[in-house]
Amino acid sequence: MSDSQAEPIFSLPVRVYYEDTDSGGVVYYANYLRFMERARAEWLRSLGFEQDVLQRHEGLVFAVQRAEIQYLRPAIFNDLLAVTAKLCARGAASMVFEHEVRRESDATICCRGRIKLACLSDRTLRPKRMSDELLAEIANVL
Amino acid sequence: MSDSQAEPIFSLPVRVYYEDTDSGGVVYYANYLRFMERARAEWLRSLGFEQDVLQRHEGLVFAVQRAEIQYLRPAIFNDLLAVTAKLCARGAASMVFEHEVRRESDATICCRGRIKLACLSDRTLRPKRMSDELLAEIANVL
Amino acid sequence: MSDSQAEPIFSLPVRVYYEDTDSGGVVYYANYLRFMERARAEWLRSLGFEQDVLQRHEGLVFAVQRAEIQYLRPAIFNDLLAVTAKLCARGAASMVFEHEVRRESDATICCRGRIKLACLSDRTLRPKRMSDELLAEIANVL
Amino acid sequence: MSDSQAEPIFSLPVRVYYEDTDSGGVVYYANYLRFMERARAEWLRSLGFEQDVLQRHEGLVFAVQRAEIQYLRPAIFNDLLAVTAKLCARGAASMVFEHEVRRESDATICCRGRIKLACLSDRTLRPKRMSDELLAEIANVL
């Protein structure tokens, strides 16, 4: 793309409920991975793709291969968070996302993640090339 | 059964980890349903039945139809709990369980549950009779 | 209130993500209780009350005392659900809610719940009267 | 330690229940972090330390600072897993663990993790030196 303007980064608002916290008074560390997956799902939907349709029509599913998470500041009960999803690399059968979890009230970055996904056939669970349509859409936002 | 001795009640030890608690300092209310399902799964295993085998060989799966839970005293982080599973009624395609969640250290009853399960075909999701073998084992402990 | 018009029922949209489902292909039964709590939290917020503020300023917290859940039809991955929260009874230190979980695409009722909450002091964990302000707001929607 | 024998690696058996899986038919990716924390908790208990006591007596809590997870093969419903916890580095106020999640039936490695924990004061949430007693025990197994 010769477009000089930066693509806006996709961001999903996530409210912290009791279910997300632990008795340490903060969001339980595994739950940030749930928030990041929600953001990836909504990012894909914003491009016009529903994961249940991709599976039904193309037999395509996504599986996380690698996750690297940095926990910077705790998010707490009732926080309103913004969870970004930014595609930062892709192959024919893989995508790498960077995520930030930011508290809206004071712009604190609570957590950063880098997640690598494999695109798999839902039958064989072996790598499967994304459709041209999906690859084209993704190329636009990369 | 002419046996006058009461059948011992099946009980599963469950340790409370951070994942189970919330920032109120107690076990999150939905998580007792996870504990109760673990107890039902281990009860079934103790009778010699593995749920993945039942599904693969008989196409039989279980689905909760109704749950009634009373929350009596909070369980907290690091508690060792005993979660009982007692079959209290059954039909050809249904089972009703009573559960108690008791803190081991002081015998406090934290939570009681009554859960009704339907036995379903994994293809049609319609009611399916349990096998004679399964029904016979269950009759022994009812 | 002499107003003859029915109060509209509060409803929260909830998307089903992978985290909510199990390998039976449906929403895991305990997770409907998470959805219902999200709806109660947003209902309270819609009346102008934040739970963290209620705790900090009044020492008031809510604890579930009893939950009765009927599972009618399974919700599945990627469903968009509407989760209602309707206050159907209240005392000075208790509230009873009725919830429905409805799939938006075909109006199927997946799950119904009736949940009784106690209002507690966050220090003593004993029953605590709600503030007049909170009771007044609640009276308006009952 | 001049002992030439390798310390056995701590391992916790973890059964996969429906709550741990998703509708992709596999263990949900965030849940391996729950399993790894259970293994760290039991490792610490095996050395004679209870986390609730450490907090009450020393004001010491642990917070994850960084997690790197590799997902190798999916674990599925009803699998019996062995989740190891191996301390591989420590400072006065930090510990680094390596975890493996192995399916017992065929010794498949499903998942590997490397988790860095900070030791914090539960009041200030600032780094806090572990007690000499805890440091001494940990030195023995490093």
Task: Render pLDDT for D47-90 as a digit per residue (tens, 0 to 9).
Answer: 999 999 999 999 999 999 999 999 999 999 999 999 999 999 99
From residue B128, give the alpha-carbon distance in Å to each of B66, C28, D18: 17, 20, 20
Q: For residue A117, which amino acid is it?
A: L
Structure tokens at A110: 């609570």
Q: How many residues does chain B have?
A: 142
Residue C40 confidence (pLDDT): 98
Tell me if C44 is assigned to some domain. Answer: yes
**Chains meeting A at 3+ CB pairs closer than 8 A?**
B, C, D
Q: List, by residue number, the catalytic residues of D.
A: 22
Q: What is the ipTM of this complex?
A: 0.94
pTM attached to this predicted model: 0.96
From residue D66, give the alpha-carbon distance in Å to each of A28, A70, B47, D72, D94: 13, 5, 42, 20, 11
From residue D65, give the alpha-carbon distance in Å to each of A51, A72, B125, C66: 32, 7, 44, 37
Q: List, by residue number, the catalytic residues of C.
A: 22
Helix (H) or strand (E) holding C73: none
Binned at pLDDT 50, 70 and 90, residue C102 comes out as very high
Cβ contacts of C112 on chain B, cutoff 8 Å: none
From the CB of residue D137, how many other CB atoms can be counted at a distance below 10 Å? 16
Tell me if B3 is assigned to some domain. Answer: no
- Asked if pLDDT for residue C83 goes beyond 80, the answer is yes
Q: pLDDT 10s digit of each residue in chain A, 142 long? A: 444 456 689 999 999 999 999 999 999 999 999 999 999 999 999 999 999 999 999 999 999 999 999 999 999 999 999 999 999 999 999 999 999 999 999 999 999 999 999 999 999 999 999 999 999 999 888 7
From the CB of residue D114, how many other CB atoms can be counted at a distance below 10 Å? 18
- pLDDT tens per residue across span D12-27: 999 999 999 999 999 9
> Do the beta carbons of residue A44 and residue A51 sit within 8 Å?
yes
Tell me if B2 is assigned to some domain. Answer: no
Domain ranges, residue B98: 13-135
> Rounded to an integer, what distance in angstroms lies between the CA atom of residue B131 and that of residue B127?
13
Residue A6 confidence (pLDDT): 64
- Asked if pLDDT for residue D1 goes beyond 50, the answer is no
From the CB of residue B132, how many other CB atoms can be counted at a distance below 10 Å? 8
Residue A28 confidence (pLDDT): 98
- Quick check: D19 and B41 CB within 8 A? no
- Quick check: B71 and C65 CB within 8 A? yes
Residue of B nearest to A31 (CA): B19
Cβ contacts of D28 on chain C, cutoff 8 Å: 18-19
The overall average pLDDT reported for chain C is 94
* CB-count exposure of residue B127 (10 Å: 0-12, 13-18, 19+): middle
Number of structural domains in chain A: 1
Residue D139 confidence (pLDDT): 85
- Quick check: C22 and D19 CB within 8 A? yes
Q: Which of A62, A64, A78 best tests the C interface by mutation, with the highest count of C CBs <10 A?
A: A78
- Asked if pLDDT for residue C4 goes beyond 70, the answer is no
Nearest-Cα distance to chain D for B136, in Å, is 23
Closest CA to C70 of B67, D131, B20: B67
- pLDDT tens per residue across span B78-113: 999 999 999 999 999 999 999 999 999 999 999 999
Mapped onto helix, strand or coil, the DSSP state of residue C67 is strand
Tell me if B5 is assigned to some domain. Answer: no
- Quick check: A52 and C15 CB within 8 A? no
Tell me if D40 is assigned to some domain. Answer: yes
- pLDDT tens per residue across span B21-48: 999 999 999 999 999 999 999 999 999 9
Binned at pLDDT 50, 70 and 90, residue B5 comes out as low
Cβ contacts of B41 on chain C, cutoff 8 Å: none
Q: Chain A to chain D, count of Cβ pairs less than 8 Å apart? A: 55
> Do the beta carbons of residue C101 and residue C32 sit within 8 Å?
yes
- For residue B17, give the nearest of D15, D18, D41 by CB distance: D41
- Quick check: B19 and D34 CB within 8 A? yes
Choosing from A22, A52, A79, A122, which is the catalytic residue? A22
CA angle B109, D16, A60 (to 5 degrees): 135
Gyration radius of chain C over CA positions: 16
Cβ contacts of A30 on chain B, cutoff 8 Å: 19
- Quick check: B78 and D19 CB within 8 A? no
Cβ contacts of A63 on chain D, cutoff 8 Å: 24, 26, 71, 74
Tell me if D73 is assigned to some domain. Answer: yes
Closest CA to C106 of C69, C84, C75, C70: C75
Q: Chain A to chain B, count of Cβ pairs less than 8 Å apart? A: 34
Tell me if C142 is assigned to some domain. Answer: no
Asked about A106 being catalytic, the answer comes back as no
Residue of A nearest to B24 (CA): A23
CATH number at residue C50: 3.10.129.10
- pLDDT tens per residue across span D91-108: 999 999 999 999 999 999
Residue of B nearest to C117 (CA): B71
In this structure, what DSSP letter does residue D58 have?
A: I
Cβ contacts of B25 on chain A, cutoff 8 Å: 23
Q: Which residue has the higher pLDDT, B99 or B8?
A: B99
Tell me if D18 is assigned to some domain. Answer: yes
Choosing from B3, B20, B22, B106, which is the catalytic residue? B22
DSSP A50-97: -HHHHHHHH-EEEEEEEEEEEE-S---TT-EEEEEEEEEEEETTEEEE
